[in-house]
Amino acid sequence: MSLLQIHEPGKTPQPHEEKSVAIGIDLGTTNSVVGFADEKGVRILSIDGHNLVPSAVGIKDKNFVIGKDALKLRDSNPQDVITSIKRLISSSAKEIPYFNHKIENKEQDAMALVKLEDQILNPVHLSSEILKYLKNKVNDKVENQINQCVITVPAYFPESARVATKDAAKLAGLDVLRLISEPTAAALAYNLDEAKEGYYLVYDLGGGTFDITLLKMSKGVFQVIATGGNTSIGGDDIDFEIAHNFSQNLKDLSQSGQKKLLQISKEAKEFLSQNPDRLWKNGKYKLSYNDLEKLSEKIVSTTIKGVKNTLIDAKITEISDINEIILVGGSTRLPSIKNALKDYFSKEPLCSINPDEVVALGAALQARALTHGSDKLLLDVTPLSLGLETMGGMIEKVIPRNSAIPCSIAQEFTTYQDGQNALSIHVLQGEREMVDQCQSLGKFILKGIPPMSAGMARILVTFTLDADGLLSVTAREKTTGIQQSIHIKPSYGLSHEQMATMLKESYEHAEEDVKQRLLTEACVDAQQILNVLTTALENDRDLLSEAEFDQIRTTSNELAALLEHPALEDRNKVVGVTKNLESLTQEFAERRINKAVNKALKGSEI
Let me know if 204 is a catalytic residue.
yes
Beta bridge partners of 429: 386, 439
The sign one gets for the Cα dihedral 197, 203, 206, 211 is positive
In 3D space, the residue among 378, 430, 443 whose CA is nearest the CA of residue 189 turns out to be: 378
In 3D space, the residue among 357, 404, 361 whose CA is nearest the CA of residue 383 turns out to be: 404
Answer yes or no: are the C-beta atoms of 428 and 441 closer than 8 Å.
yes
Question: What letters, b where the CB count within 10 A reaches 16 and e where it falls short, cover 176-195?
Answer: bbbbbbbbbbbbbbbebbee
DSSP 334: S
Let me know if 182 is a catalytic residue.
yes
Let me know if 540 is a catalytic residue.
no
Let me know if 356 is a catalytic residue.
no
Answer yes or no: are the C-beta atoms of 436 and 426 closer than 8 Å.
no
DSSP string, 482-524: -EEEEE----S---HHHHHHHHHHHHHTHHHHHHHHHHHHHHH
**Of the listed 80, 167, 182, 239, which one is catalytic?**
182
Answer yes or no: are the C-beta atoms of 240 and 55 closer than 8 Å.
no
Tell me, rounded to whole angstroms, the distance of Cα 54 from its chain centroid. 25
Torsion over CA of 69, 71, 73 and 75, rounded to 10 degrees?
Answer: -150
Question: What's the N-to-C CA distance of the chain in angstroms?
Answer: 65
Interstrand relation of 377-381 and 221-230 (parallel, antiparallel or unpaired): parallel
Which helix (H) or strand (E) segment holds residue 165: the answer is helix 159-171
In 3D space, the residue among 357, 334, 208 whose CA is nearest the CA of residue 270 turns out to be: 334
**Of the listed 80, 129, 167, 204, which one is catalytic?**
204
Query: What is the rounded CA–CA span in Å between residue 292 and residue 330?
Result: 16
Collect all residues with Cβ–Cβ distance below 8 Å to 546 and sequence separation of at least 6. Answer: none
Question: What letters, b where the CB count within 10 A reaches 16 and e where it falls short, cover 329-364?
Answer: bbbbbbebbbebbeeebeeebbeebbbbbbbbbbbb
Beta bridge partners of 216: 199, 223
Other Cβ atoms less than 10 A from the Cβ of 115: the count is 15
Catalytic residue IDs: 26, 86, 182, 204
